[in-house]
């Protein structure tokens, strides 16, 4: 995000380190106090706001010059594209859920999955919903009540069923072309979403296949169980399939999400699940639901430009070069950065936004395919987000 100064300056990284220290420190303290969702109590945009104040105080130049630099970073084309896609993705997920898309999709899958394969089925359902809707959090929130009930009725291990649900949701979130993690990874690395999907799929799909096989082999037999009412309307699954197919064939993501929003809205209006007014309210609700990541991305764009212009990224690249010898070790370096950032912030999108510019510099320097660097950022951050016990 701009790199106008060749001489490195390690002190320029201080605002970013302060942001991580405040965010991580607050989470650790609250976790020790037994506060629920400890790492999500201190708003990340506020922690970033404090870091920006430090940046304005320490960097040279007039206030107008520093604000101009901040505005250049916040208003950079990739940042703005990212922000608009966030809003549209949030609107689609909210409208599709409001018209009953989640319940119909889950019941459709459960109707045709044999009871003895339910755990594997839960993984697949989570993967499909998260891939189509672009959200692991939304998928898990919608699926968990259903998964717990189904697991209880079928005599399955509830922890294992939840793990299958979370694993599938993280896999889908990682692979989705409309996920905020994908948006952040592709925009910071300068690649098309469909191209990243292909490379990402070649890496992630084998792991998903092995997971399904293991769930089938090692999951306890559920026998026969009455899962209750599994009614569904196939038409309500259409928006998810439509968005998935249109995105994969390479249609512009803005058009894909707009079609998804209105297809879900029309189905909901015809079916009586939503009205014109609630349709508009759900779109706006989807917009506001993305406020935190929207605000964070905007502020981080401005701060990253300031840090980069003052030599912070150059200094870090100089240090990293001592450990990276070629393309392979460069990929491990990108993975390590993504993992560390996610464990520090407990948010995979935030992690990608933080290390994305650094990863871009590494991939350029060591000739790593940017599609692969985008995939690594997304995959590793999603893996650790699904594994850390203090994640959302």
> Each residue of 138-172: pLDDT tens digit?
788 777 777 777 777 777 788 888 888 888 988 88
Question: Higher pLDDT residue, 2 or 35?
Answer: 35
Q: Is 3 contained in some domain?
A: no
The domain boundary residue, chosen from 273, 289, 305: 289
Is the predicted pLDDT of residue 2 greater than 50, yes or no?
A: no
**Is 163 part of any domain?**
yes
Same domain, 282 and 299: no
Q: Report if residue 379 sits inside a domain.
A: yes
Residue 127 lies in a domain: yes
| Same domain membership, residue 129 and residue 199 | yes
Q: Are 286 and 91 in contact (CB under 8 A)?
A: yes
Indicate if 96 and 231 belong to the same structural domain. Answer: yes
Residues 193, 105 share a domain: yes
Three-state DSSP string of 142-154: HHHHHHHHHHHHH
| Of 375, 378, 386, the residue nearest 351 (C-alpha) | 378
Residues 73 and 84 in one domain: no
What's the chain's average pLDDT?
A: 84
C-alpha distances in angstroms, 135 versus 21, 98, 341?
27, 15, 20
**pLDDT number for residue 230:** 67
Residue 191 tokens, joined: 């690649």
What mean pLDDT comes out for the span 352-359?
86
∠ at Cα 203 (198, 207), nearest 5°? 130
Is the domain of 121 the same as that of 234? Answer: yes
Burial class of residue 6, CB neighbours in 10 A (0-12, 13-18, 19+):
exposed
Cα distance between the two ends of the chain:
29
User: What pLDDT, on a 0 to 100 scale, did the predictor assign at position 97?
Assistant: 86
Helix extents (H) in the chain? 14-32, 44-58, 63-74, 77-98, 101-112, 118-133, 136-154, 158-175, 180-189, 193-218, 238-248, 253-271, 276-289, 291-309, 312-320, 327-345, 348-365, 370-387
Is the same domain home to 66 and 98? no
The answer as to whether 377 is a domain residue is yes
Asked whether residue 95 is domain-assigned, the answer is yes
Output the pLDDT for position 275: 95
Contact 82/184 with Cβ under 8 angstroms?
yes
pLDDT by residue (tens digit) across 92-105?
A: 989 988 998 877 87
Q: What pLDDT is recorded for position 229? A: 61
Domain boundary among 242, 273, 289: 289
At residue 262, the pLDDT reads 96
Domain final residue, candidates 260, 289, 318: 289
Is the domain of 73 the same as that of 90? no
Query: Is the residue at 2 inside a domain?
Result: no
Band (pLDDT 50/70/90 cuts) for residue 277 is very high
Whether residue 5 lies inside any domain: the answer is no
Q: Which pLDDT score is estimated for 5?
A: 43
Tell me the pLDDT band of 243, cut-offs 50, 70 and 90. confident
Taking Cα atoms as reference points, which of 366, 378, 387 lies closest to residue 201? 378
Q: How many CA atoms lie within 13 A of 277 on its CB side?
A: 0
| Statement: residue 6 has pLDDT above 60 | no
Give the model's pLDDT for residue 209.
92
Tokens (6 digits) for 156? 């399955």
Percent of the chain past pLDDT 70, that is, above it, reads: 94
> What's the pLDDT tens digit per position in 48-85?
899 999 999 999 999 999 999 999 988 887 778 878 88
Overall number of domains in the chain: 2
Q: Give the pLDDT band of residue 392 (cuts 50, 70, 90).
A: low
Local structure of residue 367 (DSSP, 8 states): T
Q: Which domain holds residue 316?
A: 10-79+293-387
Contact 93, 135 (CB under 8 A): yes
Based on the fold, state whether residues 344 and 373 are members of the same structural domain: yes
Confidence category of residue 373, pLDDT binned at 50, 70, 90: very high
Note whether 52 and 162 are same-domain residues: no
297 & 161 share domain: no
1, pLDDT greater than 70: no
Q: What is the pLDDT of residues 181-196, one digit of tens each?
A: 888 888 889 888 888 8
Q: How far apart are CA 104 and CA 379, in angstroms?
A: 29
pTM, entire model: 0.75
164 and 312 together in one domain: no
């Amino acid at each position: 995000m701009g790199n106008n100064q060749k001489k490195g300056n390690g002190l320029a990284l201080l605002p970013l380190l302060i942001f991580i220290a405040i965010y991580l420190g607050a989470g650790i303290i609250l976790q020790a106090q037994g506060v629920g969702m400890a790492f999500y109590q201190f708003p990340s945009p506020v922690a970033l706001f404090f870091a920006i104040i430090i940046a304005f105080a320490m960097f040279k130049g007039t206030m107008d010059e520093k604000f101009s630099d901040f505005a250049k970073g916040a208003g950079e084309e990739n940042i703005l594209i990212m922000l608009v896609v966030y809003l549209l993705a949030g609107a689609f997920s909210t409208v599709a859920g409001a018209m009953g898309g989640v319940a119909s999709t889950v019941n459709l899958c459960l109707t045709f999955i044999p009871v003895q394969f339910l755990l594997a089925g839960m993984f697949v359902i989570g993967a499909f919903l998260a891939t189509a809707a672009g959200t692991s959090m939304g998928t898990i929130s919608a699926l968990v009540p259903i998964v717990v009930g189904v697991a209880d009725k079928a005599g399955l291990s509830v922890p294992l069923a939840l793990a299958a649900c979370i694993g599938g949701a993280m896999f889908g979130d990682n692979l989705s072309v409309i996920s905020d993690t994908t948006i952040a990874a592709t925009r910071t690395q300068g690649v098309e979403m469909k191209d990243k999907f292909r490379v990402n799929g070649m890496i992630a799909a084998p792991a998903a296949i092995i997971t399904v096989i293991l769930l089938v082999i090692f999951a306890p037999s559920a026998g026969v169980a009455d899962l209750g009412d599994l009614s569904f309307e196939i038409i309500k699954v259409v928006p998810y399939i439509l968005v998935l197919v249109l995105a994969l064939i390479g249609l512009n993501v803005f058009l894909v999400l707009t079609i998804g929003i209105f297809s879900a809205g029309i189905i909901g209006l015809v079916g009586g699940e939503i009205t014109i007014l609630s349709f508009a309210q759900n779109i706006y609700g989807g917009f506001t639901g993305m406020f935190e990541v929207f605000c964070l991305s905007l502020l981080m764009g401005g701060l990253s430009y300031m840090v980069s212009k003052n030599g912070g990224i150059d200094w870090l690249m100089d240090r990293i070069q001592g450990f990276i010898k070629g393309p392979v070790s460069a990929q491990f370096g990108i993975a390590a950065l993504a993992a560390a950032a996610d464990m520090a912030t407990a948010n995979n999108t935030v992690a990608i936004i933080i290390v994305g510019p650094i990863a871009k510099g590494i991939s350029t320097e060591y000739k790593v395919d940017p599609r692969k660097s985008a995939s690594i950022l997304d995959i590793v951050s999603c893996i650790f987000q699904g594994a850390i016990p203090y994640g959302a």
